[in-house]
Amino acid sequence: MKSPARTDEIQVLFSDWPEHELLDSGNRRKLERFGPYRLIRSEPKAWWTPDLGDDEWRKAAAEHTDERGWQAAAGTPRQWQVRFDNCAFELRLTGGSKHVGVFPEQSPHWRWIQSQARAEGRSLRVLSLFGYTGAATLMAAAAGGAVTHVDASRPAMSWARRNQELSGLGGLPIRWILDDAFKFVKREVRRQQRYDALILDPPSFGRGPANEVWKVEQQLAELLADCRQLLAERARFVVLTMYSIDASSLLIGNMLSQMMRGAGGRVAVGELALPHAHSDKRLPLSIFGRWSAAG
């Protein structure tokens, strides 16, 4: 049997999205620009001290803290839009969460997903698990894929469909499924469904719509084994992104290589990071593994 070729090189992929800029980070915070607005959010991986002075940080339009949530300057909207190629995303300052609806460090994945889908020359059946507000889903659909988007959060699902509307992609074949990803995959296995591509962005911990508990360290191996049964004979790619501090890119590489044993192709692993606009620092944010049949 053909095993997937494995690269020993650990790649570091950087976002080059004009709508986002990491202006500075340090003291476990980061200063970013999303479109025209500067935001300050906590960042546990920024152990160093900032490069910019307090005067630059004070120009932020809004700041999020665990104690007070979002505190915005007068005139700052609670929501606005940014674009990535032919897709639009609505960003929001909502509730107690520091997340604004998009993870810019994942933009290299978005471009890679589109290149993989377009290179195949046919419409791919894509399964996007833990799809959140739909960035990767919309990228795959815009590149010609028929996408099944699964997420356990009703607000996130509504937000994703809003992004589809803003992007003008309402006519594309996207199936929106509000469900626990772990349970959904098991049902798809029983139904003998097949997909040409998988996109997975599991949280470290989460709850499903029926209060199902998800713990990545306990359930990821079983989920990947089930996902392997969903892959079609001519499957094209798998993308796995994780934010768990306890995991590593080598761990992901081991798991993807085991998952795709006998499939051929290539497994690559690494980190997603953001370059600083005013220094040579790089902010590591997540780890990833990608399998591609095309190598």
Residue 123 sits in the same domain as residue 187: yes
264 and 137 share a domain?
yes
In a domain? residue 115: yes
Please tell me the predicted confidence (pLDDT) of residue 266: 96
Same domain, 160 and 251: yes
pLDDT on residue 295: 67
**Helix (H) or strand (E) run with residue 237 in it:** strand 237-242
Write the CATH number for 279.
3.40.50.150
Q: Domain range for residue 45?
A: 20-92
Q: Reduced to 3 states, what is the DSSP secondary structure of residue 69?
A: strand
Model pLDDT, residue 23: 98
Please check whether residues 236 and 256 belong to one and the same domain: yes
The better pLDDT of the pair 120, 127 is held by 127
Residue 294 has pLDDT above 90, yes or no: no
Q: Tell me, yes or no, whether 147 and 33 share the same domain.
A: no
Whether residues 77 and 138 fall in one domain: no
Residue 256, domain member (yes or no) = yes
Tens-digit pLDDT profile for residues 279-290: 999 999 999 999
Q: How far apart are the C-alpha atoms of 75 and 107, rounded to whole Å?
A: 29
Based on the fold, state whether residues 76 and 30 are members of the same structural domain. yes
Residues 129 and 52 in one domain: no
Tell me the per-residue pLDDT of 256-281, one tens digit each, with 9 for 90 and over. 999 999 999 999 999 999 999 999 99
Q: Is the pLDDT of residue 216 over 90?
A: no
Residues 10 and 141 in one domain: yes
Mean pLDDT calculated for residue range 226-239? 97
- How many domains does the chain divide into? 2
Q: Report the DSSP pairing between strands 146-151 and 125-129.
A: parallel
Each residue of 90-100: pLDDT tens digit?
A: 999 997 899 99
* Average pLDDT rounded to a whole number, residues 239-268: 93
% of the chain residues with pLDDT over 70? 96
User: What pTM did the predictor assign?
Assistant: 0.94
- Please state whether beta strands 79-84 and 69-72 pair in parallel, antiparallel, or not at all (unpaired): unpaired
Residue 70 identity? W
pLDDT in tens, 16-63: 999 999 999 999 999 999 999 999 999 999 999 999 999 999 999 999
Range 281-286, long-range pairs (CB < 8 A, 24+ positions): 281/25, 281/48, 281/51, 282/12, 282/14, 283/22, 283/25, 283/30, 283/43, 283/45, 283/46, 284/12, 284/45, 285/45, 285/103, 285/105, 285/243, 286/103, 286/105, 286/106, 286/241, 286/242, 286/243
For residue 120, the model assigns a pLDDT of: 86
Looking at the predicted structure, is the pLDDT value of residue 6 above 80? yes
The CATH number given to whatever domain includes residue 46 is 2.60.40.1180
pLDDT band at 215 (very low <50, low <70, confident <90, very high): confident
Confidence of residue 221 (pLDDT cuts 50, 70, 90): very high
Q: Does residue 99 lie in a domain region?
A: no
Per-residue pLDDT, 79: 97
Same domain (yes/no): 57, 184: no
Q: Which amino acid is at 225?
A: A
Q: What is the mean pLDDT of residues 178-190?
A: 96
Would residue 137 count as lying in a domain?
Answer: yes
On whether the CB atoms of residues 107 and 17 are closer than 8 A, the answer is: yes
Contact by Cβ (8 Å): 227, 221: no
Inside any domain, residue 178: yes
Q: Which helix (H) or strand (E) holds 149?
A: strand 146-151
State the pLDDT confidence band at 206, using cuts at 50, 70 and 90.
Answer: low
Q: Is residue 60 in a domain?
A: yes
Whether 140 and 55 map to the same domain: the answer is no
Q: Closest by alpha carbon to 13, among 82, 109, 151, 93?
A: 109
What's the pLDDT score for residue 55?
97
**Quick one: 108 and 149 in the same domain?**
yes
